Amino acid sequence: MSELADAFVTALKLIFTGDPEVMAVAARTLGISCSATFFAALISIPIACLIHFNHFKGKGTLISILQTFYAIPTVLVGLLVFIIFSRAGPLGGLGILFTPQVMVIGQVVLISPLMTGLTVSALSGVRPEIRDTAVSLGAGRLQMARTVLVEAKYATLTAVLIGFGRAISEVGLAIMVGGNIRGFTRTLTTAMSLETSMGNIELSMALGIILLSLALIVIIIPSWIQQRSSRVQQR
Amino acid sequence: MSELADAFVTALKLIFTGDPEVMAVAARTLGISCSATFFAALISIPIACLIHFNHFKGKGTLISILQTFYAIPTVLVGLLVFIIFSRAGPLGGLGILFTPQVMVIGQVVLISPLMTGLTVSALSGVRPEIRDTAVSLGAGRLQMARTVLVEAKYATLTAVLIGFGRAISEVGLAIMVGGNIRGFTRTLTTAMSLETSMGNIELSMALGIILLSLALIVIIIPSWIQQRSSRVQQR
Amino acid sequence: ACSDEETSSPTPAATTSPGEVPPLPKTSRLKVATTTSLYDTGLWGYLEPMFEDKYGVELDVLYAGTGKALEWGIRGDVDVITVHSRSREEQFVADGYGVERVPFAYNYFLIIGPEADPAGISGMSPEDAFTQLIAEGESIPDVKFVSRGDDSGTHGKEKAIWASAGYEYEDVRTSGGWYVETGSGMGPTLVMANEMRAYTLSDIGTFLAYQGDLELVPLVDEGDILLNVYSVIVVASTKYPDMANNLVEFLTSDEIQDLIGRYGVDEFGRPLFTPCAGQDM
Amino acid sequence: MLLEVNELCQRFGNSDILKDINLEVERGETFVIVGPTGSGKTTLLRLIGLLDKPASGTIRFGGREVPDSARARLELRRRIAIVFQRPAVFNATVYDNVAYGLRVRKEKRASLRNKVARALETVGLSGYEKRDAQTLSGGETQRVALARAMVFEPELLLLDEPTANLDPVYISNVERLISQIIRDLDTTVIMSTHDMFQGQRLADRIGVIISGEMLQTSDPREIFSRPQSRSLAEFVGSENILRGVIASNEDGIVTIDTDGIPLEAISNLDPGSEVYACIRPEEVILAPAKDLTSARNTFPGEVSHIVLFGPLARVEIDCGFPLVALITKKSAEEMGLQTGSCIYAYFKATGVHIIER
Amino acid sequence: MLLEVNELCQRFGNSDILKDINLEVERGETFVIVGPTGSGKTTLLRLIGLLDKPASGTIRFGGREVPDSARARLELRRRIAIVFQRPAVFNATVYDNVAYGLRVRKEKRASLRNKVARALETVGLSGYEKRDAQTLSGGETQRVALARAMVFEPELLLLDEPTANLDPVYISNVERLISQIIRDLDTTVIMSTHDMFQGQRLADRIGVIISGEMLQTSDPREIFSRPQSRSLAEFVGSENILRGVIASNEDGIVTIDTDGIPLEAISNLDPGSEVYACIRPEEVILAPAKDLTSARNTFPGEVSHIVLFGPLARVEIDCGFPLVALITKKSAEEMGLQTGSCIYAYFKATGVHIIER
Ligand SMILES: Nc1ncnc2c1ncn2[C@@H]1O[C@H](COP(=O)(O)OP(=O)(O)OP(=O)(O)O)[C@@H](O)[C@H]1O
Ligand SMILES: Nc1ncnc2c1ncn2[C@@H]1O[C@H](COP(=O)(O)OP(=O)(O)OP(=O)(O)O)[C@@H](O)[C@H]1O
Ligand SMILES: [Mg+2]
Ligand SMILES: [Mg+2]
């Protein structure tokens, strides 16, 4: 277990010496995952509203299928994105395989079903009275959806954070479509995977600790804003 | 994209010819992930209750930390479990590194924070009136917790399913602590990773499709039971 | 499926591999860590059932990069390792982690690249080819070299070639965008080189396994420095030294050496390995 | 006619909750729906509020039939406000809750602020603007809901038991408010209530709904004095309902035989008709001695139970049949009534309301 | 003494919601808390029900102080039941909802079934066992909540506005039920209500809570006829409250000068005392002509407004000062009262209740 202590020391050293390569990798990791989370939220939340607020045949099945996609292996998503963007694939002409862009696309594909499913759950958690009240006060469908979404804001935020967590922590997809190219598509997880394969356990764990610290910051900011704004309200 | 069609054909062939090795791998995958989900639920749900039903300093921080662990990379968990169970590690004497047991342990470590965090969210979604009502009718703390949990059963089930999805779909941990030993610790995802690294894209995708089918079954069963039982109730 | 032999093993022995064993073994299990290239060619999938049948033991084959396989050996998590990096193997034995380094097969690395060969290295010696690559790479945008960059045996060999050609590896590494480090295994590196129409260094086994999907061709396949020796080492801390020695004996036995020498002929039309038990390589 | 409801039916699962409801409400009218628990009041208001779609039947609003298209329904719905029986508040401030209806209508900022302030003042919640609406007490919540509905000046205001959670001081406040809205804003109001007297106080017309059927729609007085069925009579508080047969009819004055006891009443039914005779408790007069009065029905009896409430006393008398009288506390005290007192109970023939069985 | 509450205070944030509440309730007693919206009734019941902990003050239950340990509190809490103002039901059948309290007490299966059946019958919900409790109407929900609380025969039953969601037929049902429980089960009941008359009908004692203070605790009659402060007088419906000064006192009969108009009343206050004179509307008698009566206060006036409700008529008269009278509909009709009628209003000196300012 001394490796763990060593890893912490290494992590602190890397952070406080500001090792430029590690900093660059960390920034890239955050950039890719945040972009992916943003776009995925942009897609998932409206779709979740469409699913939740409409009654249609097969709605239950659709939700089950979405839930199934919680279990989609990153390798499978990686393969799919790869065959689409590879030279021989339908979008090969774009030539964006092994770039950060395609990593963002892959992560969006990976986390959108999860985010959609969780947002549907979040919306279902809002008491039906809220919807009735909004409608009875003259809200149109969009306005009503917005109101319900606001009531479900914490659960929706959790959905987005879980998507972010999945995006920032996954490695199979990142290697497969990003290629783990040093200085270009290497992220913290792919770097960890490389260091591990080279037997550098401490360094790898140190990178993992840095990743968790980043995630902690991203996740704490909203709850911090929330607390601040509720404090403002009370004044 | 013809690879995708080929993959479907291969998947169907593998399923319907009942290829014994694929079947064994699929069964093992399911066994490991279901066990991990079961034990993780056994740990997470009580802890979530403890967190939700108690007021203590730093509760918000604890929840943020749990949410941070949504973003824990499987590689990091893999390394941790590895250094603990490796011969030189504190539990090396058990000699269970590279066995399915340690894969279950790893997955439990991986998904428990996620499941705990989501169960806390699920519990917070229950109206406070329910808790008051239970308490006012004479429920003790445990009975009250049980009642609130039952009210939150769908959200809790979602938490468990998300944990299951993460367990069955992850690969880094499985390879790192399981070793992807043919006939012993090979699961669908590690097999996919191997086939991919050997360039067998269709076969790998076929395995991914089989994995998703398994997940679909596991995820649909509860909603099916739920529908059945509500139909029975209506009679 | 999920197995090496169905897709890459050509021999009838593999298709009659024994069924699954119960996940909880009653007997003890012997663990061998092998470098990925030996595993990906299917050689281990081919040999494993023979060894298990012969000695009635469960053999667990774990594949990883050379660095990780050695790390496992150091930690005592495996009983035997088969890798291909002479200097590191010797260090491993010298440090007392391994009993003895026993070479049992070899083949050659290849420098491969696009058929058009924009750098014009075809037929050169490895050192000249590398010298040409760095020169062209820095000037012509079409010329790229993809490096494993993962401290594997293959990567070690690449570094050795650079050294032999008179370059500091650190200089090469930072000499520009033409030099791409993937930090991945041989397979993914080949795929990437193919996508980028780039050059790379590969072991012959993995290259042959991928050849169908690639538009790359071997451009340099001769030169002593390209020699790739696989050896087997019993880990000093093993709990089963006898069985571990059995495995060494098995690999170096005439019968198996003969099989290794013919492995791959059916599928690729040529053998992948040359047996070399007893030689100092 | 602002609202016309035709043959409206609603089903949940296998049960018919509303059966062939017909209803017309004119602009500016106040229509009160009364009915026991579970009779379908809320269900009906939800249909009228265009929140649910009926199983069958039509609703015409402002002269045209309510269309099926979502957009057209929204347009109509924007002219209607509903206050639910147990209002839910948005997880926001009181101000934001009240402003909601105006915001979805894209009201300008300045007039929005004014209107919200006025609405809050009307319901007595000025100064509560910044309170988290979810920490309000039951009555406060109800008042926020009222403010929220009236702030956008709907043409039709639907109130589902609007005073159920209020204390008496505020009940009269809210009732006054409702009257004020009706007068000032020319708003049409349809409300449900379980308080019969509230209905009487506020309604232009009352409809009584029992088990999903609208049994009677009429003037508030008439519903009390001339219920059209036994269950209606019971519901409006005719505590004395006697089963009988008309024995004779002389020039419109009938004698009813109720288990051997003759009652006189006014009716043009023929002898032999099977009827219920209903006598409202307040129509029964008590006197300590047999007096000469014009009341045609006089029965000696013994007081079996007295309950006082507010200014009234409810006296149960055994006259061979049980009879309930409602008199002022004062007169009960003056007569020194107590359990066991012997007295005479009188009621006029015109005080007997007859319902055919 | 089953319950003793001493100097109980509760705060939320920076506001004192309850201020020094003192209360004693004896076993078998029915104590009713009345008070306006937001006065703290629910807050007090939650403290007594051991759901919340007070900011300060103590509660003694069954003679011993309520302890701090969770286990001991649970034990005490099991002897208390609460029905909330807006009861929530568990997402389960009606049967499971009602059985809940018995199940947590590990009641045997057979007796559980019997008790649940009996409780459902009592509240009139037999046959509803398998209904999903969440689809019930407002009143049905309230009755499930009542059944759920009474099924385990608590020693102390706390009811927070138990009939707010019920229609009149069921209100008397439930009231009868509460009386029955009090009689049969020797249960102590503390309930809050906004229906003053309900309080009077059921209470042994009434406490009035306004703005978190328990202003008066006494016999139901007394609270109506002799409120101890102006706000209390207003709250219990003394609509005629006149501000004045005692001008003279002759053997206990005082003359009060209210803006130049003299009133006679009974009091032992000295001249010069500043007072309010309260006259309950039902104490005011109307007559078409000046009659000779024993009533010491007689004022001619003009009817300014009449509202009829149920058997009563509320008449507003302008006698130089506004006076409200509550008379029977019948006498209003007999006198032919209508807006503008000139009449005489009388009330006895004993009908004037005096409160010192
Ligand atoms: N969604 C539903 N599914 C099944 N039954 C329902 C549903 N909603 C209402 N009901 C039933 O329909 C009947 C009428 O309900 P409704 O709420 O309209 O009554 P109500 O007159 O408003 O009663 P209350 O005065 O108690 O509020 C009740 O028996 C109720 O249980
Ligand atoms: N959690 C809370 N936070 C802040 N204020 C609260 C909270 N709970 C209650 N209050 C306030 O305390 C006061 C008393 O509330 P309470 O619910 O006890 O009143 P009540 O007498 O039951 O009123 P009602 O008859 O309307 O139910 C109200 O002004 C209410 O807004
Ligand atoms: Mg209702
Ligand atoms: Mg309350």
DSSP-assigned letters across all residues of E106-146: T--HHHHHHHHHHHHHHTT-TT-TTSBGGG--HHHHHHHHH
Amino acid A60: pLDDT: 85
pLDDT in tens, E345-356: 888 888 888 898
pLDDT tops 60 at residue C39: yes
Whether residue E172 has pLDDT greater than 80: no
pLDDT of the residue at A103: 96
Query: Does C7 have pLDDT greater than 70?
Result: no
How high is the pLDDT of residue A232?
Answer: 44
Contact map slice: A 191-220 vs B, CB within 8 A: 192-193, 196, 201, 204-205, 208-209, 211-212, 215-216, 219-220
Is the pLDDT at D220 greater than 90, yes or no?
A: no
What share of chain D in percent tops pLDDT 70?
A: 96
What is the DSSP track for E54-79?
-SEEEEEETTEE--SSHHHHHHHHTT
D357 CB-contact burial (10 Å; exposed 0-12 / middle 13-18 / buried 19+): exposed
Label the pairing between strands D64-65 and D80-83.
Answer: unpaired
Q: How many residues does chain B have?
A: 235
According to DSSP, the residues that pair with D244 across neighbouring strands are D275
Q: Return the pLDDT at E293.
A: 64
Neighbours of ion ligand 4 (CB under 5 A): D 138; E 42, 85
- Using DSSP, state whether C97 is helix, strand or coil: coil
Res. E268: pLDDT tops 90: no
User: How many Å lie between the alpha carbon of B54 and the closest alpha carbon of chain E?
Assistant: 12
Cβ within 8 Å, pair B199-C210? yes
| Residue E165's pLDDT band (cuts 50, 70, 90) | low
CA distance B188 to B137: 50
What does the pLDDT read at residue C183? 86
For E272, the 3-state DSSP assignment is: coil
Q: E277: which 2 tokens?
A: 């004179």
Looking at residue B1, what is its pLDDT? 63
Closest partner residue to E201 among D139, D197, D307, by Cβ? D307
Q: What is the mean pLDDT of chain E?
A: 87
Work out the pLDDT band at B228, boundaries 50, 70, 90. low
Regarding predicted confidence, which is higher, C86 or D292?
C86
Model pLDDT, residue C24: 38
Q: What's the pLDDT at D297?
A: 86
Name the percent of chain E lying above pLDDT 90: 39
Contact B197 C40 (CB under 8 A): yes
Give residue C9's pLDDT.
37
Q: Which of C258-262, D99-103, E235-239 has the lowest mean pLDDT?
A: E235-239
Residues 6+ apart with CB under 8 A from D169: E36, E234, E235
Who wins on pLDDT, C127 or A93? C127
Please write the tens of the pLDDT for every residue from E285-339.
888 877 666 677 888 899 988 887 767 788 999 988 889 988 877 788 888 888 8
- Distance, in Å, from the CA atom of D120 to the CA atom of D131, rounded to the nearest integer, reads 12
Predicted local confidence at residue A227, as pLDDT: 66
- pLDDT, tens digit (0-9, with 9 covering 90-100), for A61-113: 898 888 888 889 888 999 999 989 988 889 988 888 899 999 999 999 999 99
Side-chain-side CA neighbours of E126 within 13 Å: the count stands at 9
Residue B230 has what pLDDT?
Answer: 55
Burial per residue of C263-274, b for 16 or more beta-carbon CB atoms within 10 angstroms, e otherwise: bbeebbeebbbe
Across B168-176, average pLDDT: 91
Query: Per-residue pLDDT averaged across D131-149, rounded?
Result: 87
**Residue D169 class from Cβ within 10 Å (0-12 exposed, 13-18 middle, 19+ buried)?**
middle
Closest CA to B37 of B162, B140, B142: B162
Chains D and E touching, counted as 3 or more CB pairs less than 8 Å apart: yes
Which residue has 């049902």 as its token pair? Answer: E173
Least confident interval from A122-126, C138-142, D2-6, D285-289:
D285-289
- Regarding beta strands E253-258 and E240-250, do their DSSP bridges make them parallel or antiparallel, or are they unpaired? antiparallel
Mean pLDDT for A33-49 is: 97
- Distance from C-alpha of A214 to C-alpha of B70, rounded to nearest angstrom: 12
Closest CA to C215 of C236, C234, C191: C191
Contact criterion met (CB below 8 Å) for D345 and D293: no
Residues 6+ apart with CB under 8 A from E24: E1, E3, E4, E5
Residue nearest atom 2 in ligand 1 by C-alpha distance: E135
For residue C21, give both structure tokens.
């064993």
Would you state the pLDDT for residue C18? 38
Which residue on chain E is closest to B128 by alpha carbon? E88
The torsion angle over the Cα atoms of residues B182, B188, B194 and B196, rounded to 10 degrees, is 160
From the CA of E193, how far away is ligand 3's center (Å)? Answer: 20
Q: Do chains A and D touch (3 or more CB pairs under 8 A)?
A: yes
Pairing verdict, β E342-347 and E297-309: antiparallel
pTM of the model: 0.81
Closest CA to A122 of A156, A96, A171: A156
The region, left, alpha or beta by phi > 0 then psi within -120 to 50, assigned to residue C56 is: left
- Using the Cβ of D328 and the Cβ atoms of chain E, whether some distance falls under 8 Å is answered with yes
* E347–D contact, CB cutoff 8 A: no
Q: What is the pLDDT of residue E168?
A: 61
pLDDT at D110 over 70: yes
Q: Are E237 and D168 in contact (CB under 8 A)?
A: yes
Q: Which of E17, E82, E161 to mutate to test the pocket of ligand 2 (most atoms within 8 A of CB)?
A: E17
Confidence of residue D53 (pLDDT cuts 50, 70, 90): very high
Between CA A230 and CA A223 the distance in angstroms is 10
What is the pLDDT, as a whole number, of residue C260? Answer: 93
- Cα A46 versus chain centre, distance: 17
pLDDT at A235: 34
Q: List, in sequence order, every residue forming a beta bridge with E348; answer none if it has no partner.
A: none
In whole angstroms, what is the distance from residue A3 CA to residue E10 CA? 54
Judged by DSSP in three states, E1 sits in coil
Domain locations in chain A as residue ranges: 2-234
What CA–CA distance (Å, rounded) separates A151 from A125? 9
Structure tokens at E205: 């004692």
Q: Is E39 in the pocket of ligand 2 (CB under 6 A)?
A: yes
The chain-wide mean pLDDT, for chain B, equals 89
In this predicted model, what pLDDT tens digit does every residue of E8-54 receive, in sequence order? 999 988 889 999 999 999 988 899 998 887 889 999 999 999 999 99
Check pLDDT > 90 for residue E220: no
- Residue C4's pLDDT band (boundaries 50, 70, 90)? very low
SS3 per-residue string spanning E274-342:
EEEEEECHHHCEEECCCCCCCCCEEEEEEEEEEEEECCEEEEEEECCCEEEEEEEHHHHHHCCCCCCCE
Q: Is the pLDDT of residue A52 over 90?
A: yes
| Nearest Cα to Cα of residue C35 among C96, C98, C89 | C89
CATH number given to A2-234: 1.10.3720.10
Question: Which residue among A86, A98, A182 places its CB closest to the CB of C183?
Answer: A182
* pLDDT for residue C188 is more than 50: yes
Contact assignment for C183 to A190 by CB distance below 8 Å: yes
Q: What is the mean pLDDT of residues C235-253?
A: 93
pLDDT reading at B67 higher than 80: yes
> Span B143-149, mean pLDDT?
95
Tell me the mean pLDDT in the region B167-181. 91
